Amino acid sequence: MNREESKRHFDHQDMLARFGNDAEMTKEIMESLVHEMQESINAIESNYKSDNTQVATRNAHTIKGIALNMSFGILAQIALQLEQSIAKGKPDQAFLLKKLKEEWELLQTMIH
């Protein structure tokens, strides 16, 4: 993956700038948000499987917000698509959930 493509997945410089170029604070926030992201992904999967669409929609919205704060561009786009798909009852929800989980797995290799 080239640098420009990598930046579409995770724009580290953007995230660092968002937190005042404080590398230590950015690292601490990243560690906290990574844990929260994993919990949100587990929750959306559970709520989706339980057909709890209202909560799954909120879970997708939370994931989108965390992804935007962490400068995870592609993950934020997928989360938005999933949020809208669940809310509108579209048939592509399982596909989008799979894409979301795959993107999260890729991001974990990039941030560790």
CATH code of residue 103: 1.20.120
Give the structural domain span for 82: 3-111
| pLDDT of residue 112 exceeding 80 | no
The pLDDT score that the predictor gives to residue 5 is 87
Kindly state the average pLDDT of the residues 1-30: 91
pLDDT band at residue 4, thresholds of 50, 70 and 90?
A: confident
What pTM value is reported for the model?
0.92
d(CA 63, CA 75): 8
The pLDDT score that the predictor gives to residue 45 is 93
Total domains present in the chain: 1
| pLDDT of residue 51 exceeding 80 | yes
The pLDDT score that the predictor gives to residue 111 is 86
d(CA 57, CA 70): 20
Among 85, 77, 32, 36, which residue's Cα sits nearest to residue 56? 85
Structure tokens at 51: 């057909």
Handedness of CA 4, 18, 85, 62 (dihedral sign): positive
| pLDDT of residue 50 exceeding 90 | yes
Cβ-contact 72, 107 below 8 angstroms: yes
Q: Is 50 helix (H, G, I), strand (E, B) or coil?
A: coil
Cβ-contact 10, 71 below 8 angstroms: yes
Kindly state the average pLDDT of the residues 72-85: 97
Q: How far apart are the first and last CA of the chain?
A: 16
